[in-house]
A = this chain, B = another copy of it.
Amino acid sequence: MQQRNTKQKLAILETLRGVKSHPTAQELYDLMKDEYPKLSLGTVYRNLNQLADLGQILRLDFNDDSVHFDGDTSMHLHFYCKECHQIYDVSVDQDVVNVARVLRGAIEKYGHQIDMSNAMYQGVCSSCIRKNIN
């Protein structure tokens, strides 16, 4: 059950890491199909799931239509705007990193082993707030 590095998998990972957005499988497929005409959507799904299970990318689910993926696995938060449906990255300073450690501690106190965490926030983004005023 060892994984292989096929051209498709490498291309998918590279493409995902090359965008700042958080594309769905379909969106990533659309981005790639010009350069890789024979690529199939099923392959994109299979690889994104495998990479997410291995922790090499992040799976983001905001109860939108479909699941989004993030090639950046470094510590950061996500904010989802329910009006414009955009996902914002929120970078964190050292204070916040320390604080996140406290939350993990609250869970590890129970003896659970954390493989991955996802702090997701929803609301209205600053840009849409401004729009609503006008």
Residues of A bordering B, CB below 8 Å: 59, 61, 63, 67, 77, 79, 81-82, 88, 90, 92-93, 95-96, 99-100, 102-104, 106-107, 110-126, 129
Contacts and interface: CB of A to CB of B under 8 A. Distances in A.
Given A112-B79, A114-B121, A117-B119, A103 B106 contact: no
19 contacts: A59-B63, A61-B61, A79-B114, A81-B112, A82-B115, A90-B107, A96-B106, A99-B100, A99-B102, A103-B119, A110-B126, A113-B123, A114-B123, A117-B120, A117-B121, A117-B122, A118-B118, A118-B121, A118-B122
Copies of this chain held together in the complex: 2
A104 B79 CA distance: 10
Contacts of A93: 106
Q: Which 7 residue pairs spanning A and B have beta carbons closest together?
A: A111-B126, A115-B123, A114-B123, A117-B121, A99-B102, A61-B61, A99-B99
Contacts of A107: 77, 79, 90, 121
A77 B90 contact: no
Given A59-B63, A123-B115, A123-B116, A110 B90 contact: yes
